[in-house]
Amino acid sequence: MILTAYYDLAVSPPTFDFVSALCMMERERLRVGADGVEVVLLPGPNAGFRKAPLWPFTPQAREDALQSIVIPMVGLLPSCVGIRRQETREAEGFGVFTSLHGFPNQMTFFRDGIRPLRSPVPEKGRYVTITLREADHWPSRNSNIDEWVTVAEAIRSIGFRVIVIRDTVKADEPLEGVETSPMASKDILCRAALYAGAAMNLGVNNGPMWLANAMNAPVLICKLTANNAVCCDDKFYASCGFNRGEQLPTSPAHQRVLWAEDRAETVLAAFQEMMKEAA
């Protein structure tokens, strides 16, 4: 039996929020005992997408994100047998007019221990990734670049190769003093391969870091809270059953969140502690 699961673009965005949707689909597949999942994209009312005035802001930007993020991401769910785009909204079943995204949903599948995404071809080597957020929307959530360069230098000094994955909008811009991967910034399967093979994946709270988490890759996510950003304050997290200072439900030792800001000293201390536990 194949579960047909809908990602409804009338209510859900074509972004890294699709990570949550795939995890929700996998949880439903396990619940009903299906052998695989077929993902169907349902069109929204605004040029095929939702009306919400949120990033990506234009129909073309949303289409680009759908093609570069959502569609290739299904290749990371082993049980997925395919994805297709439907022109009409004639559908019934799991996901229709349901918001299969957002942190409240993440908490439900974390509680069930569901982290099902996998890279089919993980990179190999002794390296650490640093994922940067450098977006124009909600800039208070962005990475402190100078601090992360310091982190990269310190980790490199103890024998690790450090690969910095810049935000997609800055993929082809070099960052002085560090190695970057333009391909990983633009290609989600390349990004996932790096996350899968890394000794550790570091970054602030953003979509790619939750991708790494859903892959069960080693990950340290910091700066969970940010002023003036939607769904990024203590009150919101507490409403989801996730209180300041806590770790995510069923978190393995190789996955941790750091509620502090992304300061080099703080990140490095947490990194070193996690590497000791992994040794």
Q: Where are the domains of the chain?
A: 2-111, 127-278
Q: Is 46 helix (H, G, I), strand (E, B) or coil?
A: strand
User: In which element (H, E) is residue 88 found?
Assistant: none
Q: Specify whether the CB–CB gap between 43 and 20 falls below 8 A.
A: no
Give the residue-averaged pLDDT of 236-246.
Answer: 92
Nearest-5° Cα angle at 120, 61 to 191: 40
CATH architecture of 127-278: 3-Layer(aba) Sandwich (3.40)
Per-residue pLDDT, 275: 93
Per-residue pLDDT, 64: 95
Per-residue pLDDT, 226: 86
Q: Is 188 helix (H, G, I), strand (E, B) or coil?
A: helix
Nearest-5° Cα angle at 117, 116 to 121: 135
Q: Is 200 helix (H, G, I), strand (E, B) or coil?
A: strand
End-to-end alpha carbon distance in the chain: 42
pLDDT tens, position by position, 52-92: 887 788 999 999 999 999 999 999 999 999 999 999 999 98
pLDDT band at 227 (very low <50, low <70, confident <90, very high): confident
Q: Tell whether pTM > 0.85.
A: yes
Per-residue pLDDT, 101: 85
